């Protein structure tokens, strides 16, 4: 019988950093605390290949065997985030370069170029050995590629990347004339005579051409995903265990829709401070639908987070560690791992929080870790046999939009991630509307409502899908600041939203930035409506309804929000960004017309309906992530599985409380 089954709770472990005699002690402490999974080997290349072509896996076999014997599952990581000194010294071309062209030096991490053929060659060799040696252990339940692709540096400006970038563009545009035409490079006499003249966006007196910057971001993102695909191909030859990589929240610009397309399950590292636990939700909400499989939280901090990120020193209030673990399980996760098991006694991250101090005693996280470990054991059957109910509402997040907005100069101080988080996503969360975070290529036909705020580029495929979705009865709420660039990152010549104007049944007649104090909006039922950021003013076609108009400013009287029925469904276009209070009231009301979603928990309490194999409602998991506690109303009474007591239809959670109710 397989004894290495989820749900998992564990940590990252670096046995290579300790004397051999510590292994047994560490494993017995792990058992004592309730660890049932360990992630291992992630930065250990120098221990695996101390010299070029000389391999040593004995230490790792010993650790993997001992962990397995203790009933602890293992995730093996490829060590490619930290090339050893012999490699970078002998083959300096593997080092990544800064925008100035200067190469990074050995001594930190992630200093390799993902496009270097020499690096790929050495990486392929070490991964081949690793996968061959460890591919068949039953305790190896998963593989993790590299570590946080694109963390610290998300671009390399070396000569190899320059060459590859040109190749990448050649594949997309075929001829340089076509590229010049699509990018409109005549301006500023940028026009290229051949692909070889195309530069990387290295330092220049003024901004580079936006299409060049945009495609360079696309190229670098593609480079990391391509490198991940190469690693996957090797591991699959030797192991049937599922493969993932540990992601991060989106600011690093690596397109996860692409990166995870070839991986088996999603995983993520979440270091939001306890006061911002709600920011875990969008991360869990993209990981659940992307592979339609239970996701993992691969790293979170056990006590403080320090070391590399001194600004994020924080303390968990009592209950917060338990609450964050349960949040991850509730929304569809099957594993939570802390970073790290035992604090480092040396190196860059000695002050980072951990489960055990460097001297071997448990940290302040001990009590709640033990508790969660017992609780997931107790509720194992429920957790495994049920999954979160599929949300009826989806919200698009787009990496191409992130690339574009990160290039700046559109609206002063606009931050795509923050605006997306704090407004559209948070409104759904606070209203108790369960939601999936979708990417431009996600399947959307099973939803009732899809929101696409700040989706700067709506690619043709997405546009066609969304049109189909609406005709079939869906509600698509698009904007503000969406669909205003085409796939070349240039403006549409035929109208502000290009081909989308036909679908929305309105012409964008004016566009301007909202004045700093905002402008008033006429929106029935909302006296205090105002807008900010960006204003598109519409001329509706016949059959298009005006939902709101500008009450003052240069487009006074013109439509600011329009609605168009199409087939069985409807499109609503927000030409501007409504003030938070009004946006929230209006949005939730509109969504509820399409998707009967009743909020159940109070603000800050996440209530997840859990569905059984026969699609019936089996229970709920409720977690207070705001630390304030509050009431919950259920459809019927049930049994609270953690206490074994009856749960009434109405009950309350204490601050950071958790309830697992079988209905």
Q: How far is the CB of 114 from ligand GLA (least distance, A)?
A: 17
Binds ligand GLA (CB under 6 A): choice among 269, 283, 375, 590: 269
Q: Is 468 a catalytic residue?
A: no
**Buried b or exposed e, range 623-646, using 16+ CB within 10 angstroms:** bbbbbebbebebeeebebbbeeee
Residue 456 and residue 479: Cα distance in Å, rounded?
9
Cβ proximity to ligand GLA: between 74 and 176 the closer is 74
Residue 148 annotated in active site: yes
**C-beta of 286 vs 454, nearer to ligand GLA:** 286
Return the residues of window 66-105 that contact ligand GLA according to CB under 6 A. none
CB-wise, 210 or 247, nearer to ligand GLA? 247
CB of 205 to ligand GLA, least distance (A): 36
Contact pick of 8, 173, 339, 382 for ligand GLA (by CB under 6 A): 339
**Residue ranges in 273-302 that form contacts with ligand GLA under rule CB under 6 A:** 299
The residues in 147-206 that bind ligand GLA, with binding defined as CB under 6 A, are: 147-148
Residues contacting 129, CB < 8 A, separation 6+: 48, 49, 55, 57
Q: Which of 299, 334, 375, 640 is catalytic?
A: 299
- Find the catalytic residue in 42, 49, 148, 375: 148
Residue 516 burial (C-beta neighbours within 10 Å; 0-12, 13-18, 19+): exposed
Q: Which of 55, 271, 492, 526 binds ligand GLA (CB under 6 A)?
A: 271
| Nearest-angstrom CA–CA distance, 11 and 31 | 12
Determine if 146 is a binding residue for ligand GLA (CB under 6 A): no
Q: If you write DSSP's letter for every residue of 505-555 in order, what string do you get?
A: TEEEEEEEEPPTT-EEEEETTBTT-EEEEEEEEEEEPTTEEEEEEESSSTT
DSSP letter string over 114-147?
TT-HHHHHHHHHHHHHHHHHHTT-TTEEEEEESS
CA–CA distance, 131 with 236 (Å, rounded to integer): 8
CB closer to ligand GLA out of 204 and 315? 315
Phi then psi for residue 174, to 5 deg, are 65, -60
Binding part of the chain for ligand GLA, among 1-9, 192-200, 307-315, 424-432 by CB under 6 A, reads: 307-315
Distance CA 629, CA 116 (A): 52
Please work out the total of residues on this chain that contact ligand GLA, with binding judged by CB under 6 A.
12
Does position 482 interact with ligand GLA (CB under 6 A)? The reply is no
Closer residue to ligand GLA, CB minimum distance, 304 or 453: 304
- The β-bridge partners of 75 are 39, 142
Decide whether 231 or 419 has the Cβ nearer to ligand GLA. 231
The stretch near ligand GLA (CB under 6 A) out of 204-212, 304-312, 463-471, 493-501 is 304-312
**Cβ closest to ligand GLA, residue 352 vs residue 448:** 352
CB of 308 to ligand GLA, least distance (A): 5
Exposure string for 447-465, b = 16+ CB within 10 A, e = fewer: bbbbbbbbbbbbbeebbeb
Site string for ligand GLA, 340-359 (x = CB under 6 A): ---------x--x-------
Its sign, for the CA torsion 262, 263, 265, 266, is: negative
Q: Which is nearer to ligand GLA, 7 or 304 (CB)?
A: 304
Rounded CA-CA distance 573/578 in Å is: 12
328: left (phi over 0), alpha (psi -120 to 50) or beta: alpha
Q: Which of 218, 216, 48 is nearest to 123 (CA)?
A: 48
630 within 8 A of 601, measured Cβ to Cβ: yes
Question: Which residue among 70, 182, 190, 308 contacts ligand GLA (CB under 6 A)?
Answer: 308
Near ligand GLA by CB under 6 A: residue from 44, 95, 270, 305: 305
Chain residues binding ligand GLA by CB under 6 A are 147-148, 269, 271, 299, 305, 307-309, 339, 349, 352
Active site residues: 148, 299
């Amino acid at each position: 019988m397989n004894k290495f089954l989820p749900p998992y709770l564990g940590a990252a472990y670096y046995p290579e950093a300790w004397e051999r005699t510590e292994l047994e002690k560490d494993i017995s402490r792990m058992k004592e605390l309730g660890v049932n999974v360990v992630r291992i080997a992630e930065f250990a290349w120098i221990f695996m290949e101390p010299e070029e072509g000389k391999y040593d896996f004995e230490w790792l076999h010993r650790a993997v065997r001992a962990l397995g014997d203790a009933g602890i599952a293992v995730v093996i990581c490829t060590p490619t985030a930290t090339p050893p000194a012999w490699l970078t010294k002998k083959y300096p071309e593997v080092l990544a370069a800064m925008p100035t062209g200067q190469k990074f030096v050995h001594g930190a991490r992630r200093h390799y170029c993902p496009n270097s053929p020499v690096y790929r060659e050495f990486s392929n060799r070490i991964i081949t050995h690793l996968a061959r040696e460890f591919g068949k252990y039953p305790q190896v339940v998963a593989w993790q590629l590299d570590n946080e692709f694109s963390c610290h540096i998300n671009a390399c400006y070396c000569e190899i990347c320059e060459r590859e970038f040109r190749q990448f563009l050649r594949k997309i545009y075929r001829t340089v004339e076509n590229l010049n035409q699509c990018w409109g490079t005549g301006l500023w006499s940028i026009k290229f005579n051949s692909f070889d003249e195309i530069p990387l966006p290295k330092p220049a007196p003024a901004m580079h051409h936006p299409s060049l910057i945009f495609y360079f971001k696309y190229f670098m993102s593609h480079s990391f995903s391509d490198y991940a695909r190469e690693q996957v191909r090797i591991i699959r030859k030797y192991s049937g265990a599922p493969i993932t990589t540990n992601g991060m929240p989106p600011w690093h610009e690596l397109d996860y829709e692409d990166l995870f397309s070839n991986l088996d399950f999603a995983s993520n590292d979440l270091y939001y401070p306890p006061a911002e636990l709600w920011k875990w939700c969008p991360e869990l909400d993209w990981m659940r639908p992307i592979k339609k499989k239970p996701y993992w939280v691969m790293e979170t901090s056990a006590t403080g987070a320090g070391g590399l990120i001194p600004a994020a020193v924080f303390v968990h209030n009592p209950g917060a560690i338990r609450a964050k673990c349960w949040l991850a399980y509730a929304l569809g996760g099957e594993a939570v791992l802390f970073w790290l098991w035992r604090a480092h006694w040396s190196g860059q991250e000695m002050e980072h929080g951990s489960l055990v101090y460097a001297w071997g005693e448990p940290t302040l996280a001990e009590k709640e870790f033990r508790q969660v470990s017992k609780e997931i054991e107790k509720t194992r059957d429920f957790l495994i046999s049920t999954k979160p109910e599929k949300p009826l509402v989806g919200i698009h997040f787009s990496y191409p939009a992130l690339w574009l907005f990160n290039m700046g100069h559109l609206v002063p101080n606009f931050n795509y991630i923050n605006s997306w988080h704090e407004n559209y996503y948070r409104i759904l969360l606070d209203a108790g509307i369960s939601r999936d975070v979708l990417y431009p290529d996600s399947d959307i036909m099973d939803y009732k409502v899809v929101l696409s705020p700040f989706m700067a580029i709506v690619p043709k495929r997405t546009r066609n899908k969304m049109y189909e979705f609406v005709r079939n009865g869906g509600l698509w709420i698009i904007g503000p600041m969406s669909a205003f660039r085409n796939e070349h990152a240039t403006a549409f010549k035929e109208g502000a939203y290009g081909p989308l104007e036909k679908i929305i049944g309105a012409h964008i007649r004016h566009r301007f930035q909202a004045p700093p104090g905002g402008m008033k909006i006429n929106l029935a039922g909302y006296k205090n409506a105002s807008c900010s950021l960006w204003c598109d003013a519409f001329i509706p076609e016949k059959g298009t309804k005006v939902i709101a108009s500008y009450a003052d400013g240069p487009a006074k009287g013109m439509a600011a929000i329009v609605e168009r029925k199409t087939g069985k469904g409807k499109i609503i276009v927000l030409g501007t960004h409504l003030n938070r209070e009004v946006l929230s009231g209006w949005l939730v009301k509109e969504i509820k017309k399409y998707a009967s979603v009743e909020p159940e928990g109070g603000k800050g309490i996440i209530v997840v309906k859990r569905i059984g194999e026969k699609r019936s409602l089996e229970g709920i998991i409720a977690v207070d992530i705001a630390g304030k506690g509050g009431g919950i109303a259920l459809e019927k009474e049930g049994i609270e599985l953690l206490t074994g007591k009856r749960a009434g239809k109405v009950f309350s959670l204490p601050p950071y409380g958790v309830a697992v109710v079988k209905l």
